[in-house]
Amino acid sequence: MLTDQELQSIKNRFGIIGNDPALNYALSVASQVANTDLTVLIQGESGVGKEVFSQIIHAQSARKHNSFIAINCGAIPEGTIDSELFGHEKGSFTSASESRKGYFETVNGGTFFLDEIGELPLGTQARLLRVLETGEYIRVGSSKVQVTNVRVIAATNKDLLNLVDAGRFREDLYYRLSTVPIRVAALRERKADIPILFRKFCVDFADKYKTNPIQLTPDAKNLLINYRWPGNIRELKNIAEQISVLSESREVNEEEFRMFLPIHTSEKMPMLSGHQSSSPNDFANEREILYKLFFDMKKDVNELKKMFFEIVKNPALASNYQTDMLGNDAQLMPYTNDMQKSMNTSTQPMILSNNEAQKLQEIHVEETLNLAEKEKDYIIRALKKHRSRRRDAASELGISERTLYRKIKEYDIED
């Protein structure tokens, strides 16, 4: 373990604020492993500062005078990522007008930071595994084996073992990457550090915008500490900047502070029950739970509309539906009686006009489209909030940049 003086020296050099034991332990591990060539896997939620740890490792290693490059695996299209990493030969694919070196060739002797490693396609994972084990790789469109001496530091905000179980990540690559795992704690796990970080950001923005720093009342400070901060340090910094610019008062109370906090669906989600057999891995995050509720509600509504449509055409079916729902000995429900009375319990099926039938069919289409519109609206709002910064928008939406890019194209969103 590092001494307090050594830890503080690292924090001062890389702008790290806080004294939480989990943070100090992660820094100690990063410093101890820096002088080796071991592969490191940095784990932590989006926005906790995983890239800073990769810079610490590189800066304290024997490779510190050589190249350091960081790429986001989720930001590179699947069709070009092999070319980006390993290079390609001229004519190897349609747009390959000339040969190109990949990152493993240009960073030879240095450190390569692969963020969002869980987004790598399976084929690329196999190529990466060979580089890690033998240092060998082959350019796209070539048969010549080349050798590189690159230290790989990987990072992920996902549980890679869950991806392994789902068949989306190679098990051998996982164990090869996690030679030395470093977990960076989420901001909500470092509550004592939150006020210190917030005050530092407010002072920085006050200096930037030539104004006085923001002060929080005790109730606002309590809200600051107990808020979940799903976006972690990135979100905290954004909120500090918003308040520094938009707050009319330099002393912010709880009510005003709450106005700057986004409404996260996870804080208003009903508790799910009655599905004890479901695996805890069925939902990757709260957003997937919300989607499941939407789809379940849509399914129930569609079933009711289908039932109503058939009863309207043939009122005699009402008793059959009631029996299916309540049992053979159950009494007709009041609303079924009222429905039958309103239709005079005629044995002749009701004839719907073409317009009426068309309207009933359009209800289902409109319901289906509404879900897509909600997703489109969430994406537009996230892009506006983060001023078209796709990485930050994708982080808040809980999806990868590649998925966000595909959704933007799919919905024809201009950002």
pLDDT of residue 378: 83
- pLDDT tens-place string over residues 74-97: 999 888 899 999 999 988 887 788
Mean pLDDT across 209-229:
94
Lowest mean pLDDT among 109-123, 145-159, 266-280: 266-280
113 forms beta bridges with 70, 153
pLDDT class of 315 with cuts at 50, 70, 90: low
Q: What is the pLDDT of residue 283?
A: 43
pLDDT at 353: 55
Instruction: Identify the CA nearest to 79 among candidates 92, 98, 66.
Output: 92
Pairing outcome for strands 145-147 and 136-138 = antiparallel
How far apart CA 49 and CA 41 sit, in angstroms, is 14
| Predicted confidence (pLDDT) per residue in 238-263, tens digit | 999 999 999 988 999 999 999 999 87
Q: From the centroid of its chain, how far is CA 29?
A: 26
Q: Where are the domains of the chain?
A: 4-185, 191-261, 286-410
Between CA 21 and CA 1 the distance in angstroms is 12
Q: Using 50, 70 and 90 to split pLDDT, how confident is the model at 289?
A: low
pLDDT at 304 over 60: yes
Q: What's the pLDDT score for residue 415?
A: 65
SS3 342: helix
Kindly report which listed range (1-15, 206-220, 297-311, 394-408) carries the lowest average pLDDT score.
Answer: 297-311
pLDDT at 277: 40
* CATH class of the domain defined by 191-261: mainly alpha
- Is 269 a residue whose pLDDT tops 70? no
Q: Which CATH architecture is the domain 4-185 placed in?
A: 3-Layer(aba) Sandwich (3.40)
Q: Where residue 358 falls among pLDDT bands split at 50, 70, 90?
A: low
User: Given the DSSP bridges, would you call strands 68-72 and 145-147 parallel, antiparallel or unpaired?
Assistant: unpaired
Q: What is the pLDDT of residues 394-403, one digit of tens each?
A: 888 878 887 8
Is 154 strand, coil or helix?
strand
Q: Is the model's pTM score more than 0.75?
A: no
H-assigned helices in 156-285: 160-165, 171-177, 194-208, 218-226, 232-246, 254-260
User: What 8-state DSSP symbol labels residue 90?
Assistant: T
The torsion angle over the Cα atoms of residues 284, 287, 293 and 296, rounded to 10 degrees, is -70
Q: Residue 346 pLDDT > 70, yes or no?
A: no
pLDDT of residue 148: 95
* Nearest residue to 66 via CA among 108, 114, 30: 108
